[in-house]
Amino acid sequence: MQLPPQQSRRARGPQSVADCGGLGGLFTKAAALETLDQQLRQRLLPTLAEQVRLGGVHGERIVFVASSAAWASRLRMEQAAILRLARILGLSARVLIVKVAPLPARPPGPAKRLVLSRAAAHHLRAAASSLTDPELRARFLALAELAES
C-alpha cells in the first residue's frame, strides 16, 4: 500500500492556502491511512486492536496512538510483527513509535427521530390559526403534520 507522497516544506509554520494543494489530496491520504490502519490492526488481538489506532506514517516511522500506557506496552510487544507486515504492504518501516492519548470517540449513530404527540399537534394548529404571516403559518402546520396519528 502506497501512501501519497508528502510535499517537503522548507520552513515550519503556517503556509498559504494556495501552497497546500487541494482537498482531494488530503482525502486520498486519509483514505490510504484508514485502509492501512485496518490492515495493520486486523492482525492484532481484537482487544488490543480496539485500543490502538494508526496515527501516521512518516518515512521509516509508523506512529500508533494507544488509549493507555498499558495498551502502548502491549502494542510495543507486537512491534516486530507490525513492522514486518508494514514492509509486506509496501512501506519502508523500520521504527514503531507509540504515543498515549485518548482515542477519538466513534461518531454517533443517526439520531432518533422525535415524534410529536397529538396534543402538541393540536397546539401547533391552534397557534398557526392565530398567525398572520402565511409562511410561518405553513411551517407550524407542517410541524403539526409530523405528529403521531
Higher-pLDDT residue of 149 and 121 is 121
Measured CA distances, 85 to 36, 42, 52, 91, 143 (Å): 10, 11, 16, 9, 56
pLDDT of residue 35 exceeding 80: yes
What pTM value is reported for the model?
0.58
Provide the pLDDT confidence category of residue 149 given band limits of 50, 70 and 90: low
Per-residue pLDDT tens digits for 69-104: 999 999 999 999 999 999 999 999 899 999 999 877
DSSP 108: P
**What percentage of the chain carries pLDDT values higher than 90?**
56
Domains defined for the chain, CATH in brackets: 22-100 (3.30.300.180), 113-149 (no CATH)
Residue type, 9: R
CA dihedral 42, 89, 96, 73 (to 10 degrees): 20
